[in-house]
Chain A
Amino acid sequence: MGGYILKRLLSAIPVLLGITIIVFAIMAMIPGDPATAILGSYATPDNVEKLNRDLGLDKPLLQRYFIWLGNMLQGDFGRSFSLNRPVLDEVVERFNATLVLAGTGFVLCSVLGILAGVVSAARQYGVADKIITFTVLIGISIPSFFLGMMIILLFAVNLRWLPVSGMYAIYGGGDLPDLLKHLVMPATALAVVATGVIARLSRSAMLEVLRQDFIRTARAKGVPERRVIMGHALRAAMVSILPVLGIQAGFVLSGAVYIEMVFQWPGVGRMLVDAILKRDILLLQGGVVLVAACYVLFNIAVDVAQALLDPRIKT
């Protein structure tokens, strides 16, 4: 097992190196440079050249790449020029915020989606099924940023129940209830589409299972309907629901970018968009590399867990 983990970790190195090259190359190729972005109207060739020199961007491309890579290997991701602070500090802070939002969104959509799927399968063609199917259709069709603005208008502007934006209150906040209050709307808006997808798939997975013999047997034995559904059927259906949850986790994380914009959530998605617009090369490169490294590690962890659970997978 130890050898397997080591092998997987070693195989991640070329992947990460490839990512650094791609990110670096893209940033080098897109038009516009940081000095022009900073100077705006005052970007005369002289000023741009001087500022690029001060920013260390006058060196040859290849040399810049190796300086960046070398520093990064020593844990120095450089300094963001648009935020004037170390890239690593900023990325870690922002990534935490995204994890809180995306994690909550993911739990919400998994629980609500499976629950809705189970209910509508159990009451197929009943009133509950029709309402859920209709709601799910709306949920899947509605763009999350639009939904975000609509719930802001309703719950923050008109009813004033919840704060409009941000992660913590400016005054007297910072504790868990405060965080939850700020989290309700963005997490809901983020979860809606995935909830719909999961609900639909859970419904069909459940319907398929409910038609099988062992369910009929369970019912014939006199097992209470609640236990038939939640115990026997759902457990069997989870086999086909789980992979969908895995895919939706990725969608929730990428969907967080829009939601972070609308709700001013200080997450990493918004950070990367700002970094592109401001041509903040080091921040963007460092951010993408760190996020990618997390994905790679997450995948390795999943593979390792699967190998632990399923002896058929060769280690």
Chain B
Amino acid sequence: MKSLDLTRRALIFAAITSLSLGGGDRPAAAQTPPGVLIVGQIAEPKSLDPAAVTAVNDFRILVNVYEGLVRYEPGTLEVAPALATDWAISEEGTEYTFTLREGVTFHDGTPFNAETVKFNFDRMLNEDHPYHDTGPFPLAFFFSAIAKTEVLDELTVKFTLNAPYAPFLSNLAYPTGLMVSPAAVEQHGADFGRNPAGTGPFTFVEWRSNEAVVIEKNPDYWGDPAGTEAVVFRPITDANTRVAEMLAGGIDMMVEVPPTALSRFQGDAFKVVEQAGPHLWFLILNAKEGPFADKRVRQAANYAINKRALVDDVLEGTAEIAAGPTPPAFAWAHNETLAPYPYDPERARALLDEAGIEEGTELTFYVTEGGSGMLDPIPMGTAIQADLNAVGFDVKIETYEWNTFLGEVNPGLEGKADMAEMAWMTNDPDTLPYLALRTEAWPSEGGFNSGYYSNEEVDRLLEEARVATDQEERARLYKRMQEIVQEDAPWVFVANWKQNAVTSDRVENFSLEPSFLLQLEGVVKN
């Protein structure tokens, strides 16, 4: 009776306020206009200068305003022409010569040519460049192999590398390689990031801090014109609020839907889109000391953890079980013959007995509270703890906030922990194993091999793959590397995340890319 009064009072109150505010004549408070796509983003962008940012959240806007010399072929991670129509690689793999597209202009009206390409790379890499101070450029090391950039003629540009570097092309397709207008950088200086000008299918209109970034169709685009008049990116940091906005019709599309909210979008009014990407969620095992110094114990951990339960129950089907260090999204480099370690606690116990691990052996497990690509790290950590305890370990979890966590894990686990959660999203099969599995990537050498894995053959394969320019040869080397690494088990391979998004039924032609970028030029909004 009393709760009834409460509800009635609340209803009356809201009815009065909404009527008095003239809300009565608008059936839906948040109906979005046709031709305008409103996207719910996870955060306010840092900057719209592609050379200055690192977050996928920012890249989702940038790839619609800017273009690079090359891009990822839609639906794959293969490199395809964009602002460059063609390229040639020298025999030894150190000279890349690009032929540029003719008749392309930046949104500020200045022409795109070889000089502008040189400006872009010099600005990032050359500390004496007059506009180097518009940085910092945290991902400039993607192009640190470039020794010099030369203008051969109006539409031809040549990069000379200091050594062969196979991931160079796919790094150029990464958003850090998007081309900005030199004239706009000269005009706005450090504020270029808030006054962007590229060559893409959308031009920048305005950025209202903490409210929206608005871009509209570029009428002078060299390619097919965009399918919508405008796109609005709204930062909505709270996932529950983002879901509520989607349900209320305040946004037409949201990315990174929390797994537990997916069931709310079943039905005809919404479309759920999924795409596996180059993501790996794994556990780093301390191979230098403690129980995991023994390969059998590392394998036992891989057998003991019920990955099916993790991806289906904790992650609600938003990920797939990982088999090895290279995600299947790198189709050409992924070794399909490798099957994931099955869930087999008996086998795990047998291996532990063989290795002489006593019941109740303590393990320290670093777990993060959140962080880029970490999915649902605390529930995943506790599920893993339960699985390992079930085969006889005594796992102690230590939880850290993300930045603190990185500060603990990146310098190496020695003397501190036996295992740690980690996740990577990369754009080339070279990146993760090269930075996190080689002997020369131990933390003391400046790498991310925080578990101190070391295998000479893996080192050799990765070095060879990095300098091989033939993709088939690279693929062969990576596939061999995956076999060895899976057998050695320096990590517990857990999951490959499937990125998801929800759109309303008014949105058509939308798909997600394996690159995790958000290409919106073809999307139509009714």
Nearest Cβ on chain A to B132's Cβ, whole angstroms: 9
Contact A152 B212 (CB under 8 A): no
Interface residues as binary, B342-384 with A (CB distance below 8 Å gives 1, 0 otherwise): 0000000000000000000000000000011100000000000
Q: Are A38 and B17 in touch, CB under 8 angstroms?
A: no
Give the chain A neighbours of B9 by CB distance below 8 A: 135
Stretch at the interface among A6-14, A40-48, A200-208, A222-230: A40-48
Are B211 and A266 in contact, CB atoms less than 8 angstroms apart? Answer: yes
Interface pair B372/A170, CB less than 8 Å apart: no
Q: Contacts of A46 on B, CB cut-off 8 Å?
A: 446
| Contact present for A266 and B210 (CB under 8 Å) | yes
Judge whether B424 and A41 touch: CB under 8 Å.
Answer: yes
| Of the residues B5, B46, B235, B238, contact of A82 by C-beta under 8 Å | B46
A41–B21 alpha-carbon span in the complex (Å):
48
Nearest chain A residue, comparing its CB with the CB of B132? A54
When C-beta atoms are compared, the residue in chain A nearest to B48 turns out to be A84
Within 8 A of A (CB), among B108-157: 135-136, 138-139, 141
A interface, over-half SS = helix
Q: Are the C-beta atoms of A51 and B210 separated by less than 8 Å?
A: no
Q: Mark B234-250, 1 if CB is under 8 A from A, else 0.
A: 11111011001101111
In contact, A131 and B2 (Cβ under 8 angstroms): yes
Contact between A162 and B141, CB atoms less than 8 A apart: no
Tell me whether B236 and A83 are in contact (CB under 8 A). Answer: no
Residues A135 and B47 in contact in the complex (CB < 8 Å), given A40-B372, A43-B406, A177-B21? no
Q: How many residues of B contact A (CB 8 A)?
A: 72
| Complex interface: chain A residues within 8 A of B249 (CB) | 160
Contact partners of B138 in chain A: CB under 8 A: 35, 38-39, 42, 47, 51
A30 contact set on B, CB distance < 8 A: 404
Tell which of B30-38, B216-224, B293-301, B452-460 binds the partner.
Answer: B30-38
Chain B hits for A155, CB < 8 A: 14, 18
Residue picked from A93, A149, A164, A180, most chain B C-beta under 10 Å? A164
One of B23, B29, B404 near A32 (C-beta < 8 A): B404
Q: Is A157 an interface residue (CB 8 A)?
A: yes
B28 touches A160 (CB 8 A): yes
B30 in contact with A163 (CB, 8 Å): yes
B36-75 vs A: 1/0 string, CB under 8 Å?
A: 1010000110110100101000000000000000000000
Do the beta carbons of B54 and A39 come within 8 Å of each other?
yes
Q: Is A44 a contact partner of B448 (Cβ separation < 8 A)?
A: yes
A127 CB → nearest B CB, Å: 10
B54 to A38, Cβ gap below 8 A?
yes
B29 touches A41 (CB 8 A): no
Check A84/B193 contact, CB under 8 A, given A31-B403, A44-B446, A163-B250.
yes
Is B190 among interface residues, defined by CB-CB distance under 8 A? Answer: yes
Is the Cβ of B407 less than 8 Å from the Cβ of A36?
Answer: yes
Which chain A residues lie closer than 8 Å to B136 at the CB level?
A: 51, 54-55
Instruction: A42-B141, A84-B52 given; name 10 further pairs at CB < 8 Å.
Output: A31-B408, A83-B46, A155-B18, A157-B248, A164-B245, A164-B248, A169-B30, A171-B32, A261-B237, A262-B238
Interface residues of B (CB under 8 A from A): 2, 5-6, 9-10, 14-15, 17-18, 21-23, 27-30, 32-33, 36, 38, 43-44, 46-47, 49, 52, 54, 135-136, 138-139, 141, 190-191, 193-194, 209-212, 232, 234-238, 240-241, 244-245, 247-250, 371-373, 401-404, 406-408, 410, 424-425, 435, 443, 446-448
A residues neighboring B (CB under 8 Å): 30-33, 35-47, 51, 54-55, 79, 81-85, 90, 93-94, 131, 134-135, 138, 149, 151-157, 159-171, 177, 180-181, 184, 261-264, 266, 270, 274, 277, 279
Q: List 12 A-B contacts (CB under 8 A).
A: A32-B406, A39-B138, A46-B446, A85-B194, A156-B248, A157-B247, A160-B29, A160-B30, A163-B248, A165-B250, A180-B21, A262-B240
